[in-house]
């Protein structure tokens, strides 16, 4: 029987990815000290400092198998767990998997029975975060991964922290002494060192704090991406672009998020019970609050929070990331695509130099033009050779010299397309359905006196 199982279960947006990346990097050193951090298929991404789901493959398989057959799923889970335990002579098995924070009491109870047969003790580590700060990070994740287009003021009243649910679920199964609650803001500057100490590593264990992984988007980046989500591009493409963008821009220009006081108040009203629940369990003087000092210091009115400018440099960064994504997915770039994207990029540079004279709609049109070009290549088959022109180069060039508003130009183009379609169908037949046109043609072919009708007769 192994001495201990350590479960690191989140919460989300509390430095979990950074810890997982560092644990993957230090796997051999951990094992030399008796702590086994199992391998996972995402190790390569973790080593590169990219976002992963930790080393919870054993749990990910359980979620699927348990739905089909609970008993069979649990039996397979225990078999995999037994293999992990027998893989080496470590006294501690360490699994970091933030999705485990959402496990229901029934499944947790069944897992506890399995753990009790293989471990002397189970230790759970759970990080929490000041609510508005966590809500902002969660909001950023929804924009990054779920295509959210709403403003933070619209999101805040609906935000409900799941901290209390996780606490109640785990405490209904495990002893309170087996669960450690950590306030993220207290350990933020030495996150990994604190985690290693909780796992039981000696102070002499060599470590270095990991670089930020899965960093939150800055307010300026969120504003650009929120508008990109309104363009209805391929969700998988946007997710890849954002991941590449954050990976290549690890230290962006920071500007405090202008959160309205109304949003902070809405979060406080909706999560009052969460604050009480968490604070009853935190130790060492740590106190969970509605918002950090930095958020409260920069709180503003609703109008100020709603009016944010678009940063052309970030928009150009999205286009560059899009080209890198296409090159990774397709293996090479078509010259037409590079030319079209570079055209949007150079136009955005021009806007950046004389930003005061141009509106955000023109900048968004330029960004959309480049991203549409990238999307076409992303969706195209491997043998894509067709040379086509960018959808709205003429419109955008005209917009840049402000000969006509961008919206009016787009509408004029749409009207031209409709006219071309109508010219292909005689006006008398334009209102007919496809079935009506087919029947009319058949009647015409079989009409007495026509050449075909005479030949048939």
Token code pair at residue 450:
């026509």
Q: Which residue has the tokens 């969660």?
A: 138
Q: Are 263 and 291 spatial neighbours (Cβ–Cβ below 8 Å)?
A: no
- pLDDT value, residue 373: 83
Q: What angle do CA 102, 214, 146 make, to 5 degrees?
A: 60
User: For residue 231, is pLDDT > 60?
Assistant: yes
User: pLDDT at residue 117 above 80?
Assistant: yes
CA geometry: angle 384, 323, 231, nearest 5 deg: 90
> Which position has the higher pLDDT, 215 or 395?
215
Q: How far apart are CA 237 and CA 169, in angstroms?
A: 36
Range 187-210 average pLDDT: 88
- What SS3 state is found at 172? coil
Full-model pTM: 0.74
What does DSSP say about strands 179-183 and 92-96: parallel, antiparallel, or unpaired?
unpaired
Across 360-374, average pLDDT:
84
pLDDT category, 404, cuts 50, 70, 90? very low
Residue 327 pLDDT level (bands cut at 50, 70, 90) = confident
- Percent of the chain exceeding pLDDT 70 equals 81
**Stretch 225-237: mean pLDDT, rounded?**
91
* 3-class SS of residue 93: strand
Contacts 24+ apart (CB under 8 A), 56-65: 56/95, 56/96, 56/97, 56/99, 56/100, 58/84, 58/95, 59/95, 59/97, 59/99, 59/100, 60/97, 60/99, 63/99
pLDDT on residue 36: 97
Examine the pLDDT at 456 and tell me if it is beyond 50.
no
- pLDDT band with cut points at 50, 70 and 90 for residue 387: very low
Residue that has been written with the tokens 């010219």 in this structure: 423
Q: With a cut of 80, say whether residue 161 has pLDDT above it.
A: yes
pLDDT at 388: 39
129-151: average pLDDT: 91
Contact at 8 Å (CB) between 290 and 191?
no
Per-residue pLDDT of 296-316, as tens digits, reads 988 887 666 666 778 888 988
Average pLDDT over residues 213-231: 85
Say which residue, 214 or 169, is predicted with more confidence.
Answer: 169
pLDDT (mean) for 429-448: 69
- The segment(s) of the chain belonging to CATH 3.40.50.300 are 2-212
Residue range 43-66: mean pLDDT, rounded: 86
Report pLDDT digits (tens) over 148-157.
999 899 999 9
Residue 431's pLDDT is: 55
Q: What is the pLDDT of residue 432?
A: 61
Give the confidence band of 435 by pLDDT, cuts at 50, 70, 90: confident
- Give the Cβ contact number of residue 8 at 10 Å: 27
Mean pLDDT, residues 391-418: 56
pLDDT bin (cut points 50, 70, 90) of residue 213 is low
Q: Is the distance from CB of 246 to CB of 217 less than 8 angstroms?
A: yes
Mean pLDDT, residues 253-270 taken together: 85
Q: What is the DSSP string of 401-447?
A: TTSS-HHHHHHHHHHHHHHHHHHHS-GGGTT--HHHHHHHHHHHHT-
In whole angstroms, what is the distance from residue 235 CA to residue 229 CA?
A: 8
Give 238: exposed, middle or buried? Use CB within 10 Å, 0-12, 13-18, 19+.
Answer: buried
Spatial distance between the Cα atoms of 288 and 227, rounded to a whole number of angstroms: 33
Q: What is the mean pLDDT of the chain?
A: 83
Please confirm whether the linkage preceding 269 is cis (ω < 30° from 0).
no
Position 246 pLDDT exceeds 70:
yes
Helix axes 70-86, 57-68, angle to 10 degrees: 160
Q: Does domain 2-212 have CATH number 3.40.50.300?
A: yes
Kindly report which listed range (43-57, 79-93, 99-113) carries the lowest average pLDDT score.
Answer: 43-57
Instruction: Quickly state the pLDDT bin for 90 (edges 50, 70, 90).
Output: very high
**Angstrom distances, CA of residue 410 to CA of 29, 414, 417:** 60, 6, 11
């Amino acid at each position: 029987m192994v001495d201990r199982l350590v479960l690191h279960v989140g919460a989300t947006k509390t430095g979990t990815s950074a810890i997982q990346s560092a644990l993957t990097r230090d796997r051999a050193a951990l094992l030399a000290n008796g702590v086994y951090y199992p391998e996972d298929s995402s190790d390569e991404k973790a080593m590169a400092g990219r976002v992963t789901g930790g080393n919870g493959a054993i749990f990910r398989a359980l979620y699927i198998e348990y739905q089909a057959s609970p008993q069979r799923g649990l039996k397979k889970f225990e078999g995999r767990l037994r293999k992990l335990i027998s893989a080496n002579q470590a006294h501690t098995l360490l699994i970091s998997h933030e999705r485990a924070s959402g496990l229901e009491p029934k499944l947790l109870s069944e897992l506890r029975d399995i753990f009790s047969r293989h471990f002397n003790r189970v230790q759970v580590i759970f990080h929490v975060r000041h609510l508005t700060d966590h809500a902002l990070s969660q909001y950023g994740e929804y924009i990054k991964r779920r295509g959210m287009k709403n403003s933070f003021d619209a999101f805040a009243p609906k935000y409900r922290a799941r901290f209390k649910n996780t606490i109640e679920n785990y405490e209904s199964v495990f002893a309170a002494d087996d669960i450690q609650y950590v306030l993220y803001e207290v350990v933020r500057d030495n996150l990994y060192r604190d985690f290693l100490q909780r796992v039981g590593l000696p102070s002499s264990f060599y470590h270095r704090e990991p670089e930020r992984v899965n960093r939150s988007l800055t307010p300026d980046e969120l504003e650009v991406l929120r508008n990109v989500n309104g363009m209805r591009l391929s969700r998988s493409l946007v997710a890849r672009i954002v991941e590449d963008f954050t990976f290549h821009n690890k230290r962006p220009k920071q500007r405090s998020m202008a959160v309205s006081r109304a949003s902070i108040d809405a979060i406080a009203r909706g999560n009052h019970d969460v604050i009480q629940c968490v604070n009853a369990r935190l130790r060492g003087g740590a106190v969970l609050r509605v918002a950090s000092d930095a958020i409260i210091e920069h709180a503003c009115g609703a109008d100020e929070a709603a009016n944010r400018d678009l940063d052309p440099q970030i928009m150009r960064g999205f286009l560059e990331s899009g080209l890198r994504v296409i090159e990774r997915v397709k293996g090479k770039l078509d010259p037409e695509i590079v030319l079209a994207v570079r055209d949007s990029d150079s136009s955005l540079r021009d806007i950046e130099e004389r930003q005061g004279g141009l509106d955000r709609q023109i900048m968004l049109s330029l960004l959309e033009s480049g991203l549409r070009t990238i999307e076409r290549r992303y969706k195209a088959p491997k043998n894509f050779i067709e040379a086509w022109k960018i959808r709205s180069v003429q419109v955008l060039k005209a917009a840049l010299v402000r000969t006509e508003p961008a919206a009016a130009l787009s509408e004029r183009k749409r009207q031209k397309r409709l006219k071309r379609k109508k010219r292909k169908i005689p006006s008398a037949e334009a209102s007919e359905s496809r079935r009506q046109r087919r029947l009319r043609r058949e009647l015409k072919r079989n009409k007495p006196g026509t050449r075909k009708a005479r030949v048939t007769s």
